[in-house]
Structure 1
Amino acid sequence: MKILISTDIEGVAGVTHVEQTRSGNAEYERARAWMTDEANAAIRGAFAGGATEVLVNDSHGGFRNLLLDRLDVRAQTITGKPRYLGMMAGVEQDCDAVYMVGYHARSQTTGVLAHTINSFAFRSVRVNAEEFGEAGLYGALAGEFGVPVALLSGDDVFLAETAPIFPGAVGVETKRAYGNA
């Protein structure tokens, strides 16, 4: 069984401010470590659940956030740009399931650091009149390859938003939102 883990940073436990998502400061370096820790937890869980192969897609910003020297050596990584399929790169490699780790709620919600793709460019993204965030959009892309979303981690608003879209997925709440930071 092959698992693709797509890791973002805004939904990681402890990440609450935009400064933590942008390179060039100590807060970002701490957030990168937390992101790597959550990716490692997902990797361990995947192997414990029967995975024989795990791909980890670094899916935030410039796709170069994970601390690769701290990542579980059993996993293969997908980092850097340019990249085909963005946050879902790797799904085309005969994966059996996708884990979305450290994801966030869609734009215009009260989720922590909520946005859709780029908070300056998109207020709302709709498909067939239904609004989707990054998880919904990239989950649909995974579906085009016949790969189900099996795990979702992020804040409570993110989990409430995605539960109806991915009814069979396990949700892991990393924090509670009390307003959009």
Structure 2
Amino acid sequence: MKILISTDIEGVAGVFAIEQTRAGNPEYERARRWMTAEANAAIEGAFAGGAQAVWVNDSHGGFRNLLPDGLDARARVVLGKPRALGMMAGLEQQPDLVFMIGFHAKSQTRGVLAHTINNFAFTQVWLNGVELGEAGLYGALAREYGAHVALASGDDVFAEETRPLFPDARFETVKTAGGASSGDTLTPAASCARIATAARETVAHALSAG
């Protein structure tokens, strides 16, 4: 079984401020380590569950946030731009399952750092009459390639809006939104433990189901 993990930063535990998402300041450097740790938890969990190959896609901003030396050496890492398929680069490898780690709610919602692709360019994006955030848009793209979203993590608003789109997926809520830049959160260690367990169980279940 092959897994593609798409990773963003706004939905990572402990991330609430825009400064944490932009390169060039100490808060970002801490946040990218947390992002890397959550990605690695998903990687290690996927392999523990029986995955044969894992690709992890850096899907935030300029796509150069993950720290490869903090990732399991068995994984392949997709970094940088320009590239085809954006947040789903790696679908070319024909993965069976897609994990969305550190994702956020769509624009104009109360989710932490909520936006859709780029707040300066988009307020709403619609597909077949349904307003979608990044998870919905890129999840639809994954289905076109024969993969389906099996695991996602982020805040409670992200989970609420995305769960109906992927009813068979497992959602791990690592923080609860109090507003666009506030809320309560698991610690990075706790979020990583939950993500690793969820990844392991998700892959194991998929393999047992055939």
| TM-score scaled by length of structure 2 | 0.85
| Aligned counterparts, 1:141-180, within 5 A | 141-180=141-180
Once residues 15 and 132 of structure 2 are traced to their aligned partners in structure 1, the CA distance between those partners, rounded to angstroms, is 22
What's 2:107 paired with?
107
| Aligned counterparts, 1:117-132, within 5 A | 117-132=117-132
Once residues 170 and 138 of structure 1 are traced to their aligned partners in structure 2, the CA distance between those partners, rounded to angstroms, is 17
Secondary structure class of the residue paired with 1:19: helix
What's 1:92 paired with?
92
| Long gaps (5+) in structure 2 | 182-210
Aligned-pair identity in percent equals 70
Once residues 129 and 169 of structure 2 are traced to their aligned partners in structure 1, the CA distance between those partners, rounded to angstroms, is 24
Give the CA deviation at 1:72: 1.0
Secondary structure class of the residue paired with 1:6: strand
What's 1:19 paired with?
19
Secondary structure class of the residue paired with 2:108: coil
Once residues 152 and 136 of structure 2 are traced to their aligned partners in structure 1, the CA distance between those partners, rounded to angstroms, is 11
What's 1:53 paired with?
53
Once residues 164 and 45 of structure 2 are traced to their aligned partners in structure 1, the CA distance between those partners, rounded to angstroms, is 23
Once residues 48 and 21 of structure 1 are traced to their aligned partners in structure 2, the CA distance between those partners, rounded to angstroms, is 30
What are the superposed Cα offsets for residues 83-123 of structure 1, whole Å, 9 maximum, x if unpaired? 10000000121100000000000000000000000011111
Aligned length: 181
Secondary structure class of the residue paired with 1:177: strand
What's 2:208 paired with?
none
What's 2:78 paired with?
78
* Residue 35 (structure 1) aligned with residue 35 (structure 2): yes
Whichever residue aligns with residue 123 of structure 1, its letter is T
**Comparing both structures, which one devotes a greater share of its residues to helix?**
2
* Residue 66 (structure 1) aligned with residue 66 (structure 2): yes
Secondary structure class of the residue paired with 1:165: coil
Once residues 82 and 125 of structure 2 are traced to their aligned partners in structure 1, the CA distance between those partners, rounded to angstroms, is 23
Alpha-carbon contact 2:105-2:158 (below 8 Å) kept: yes
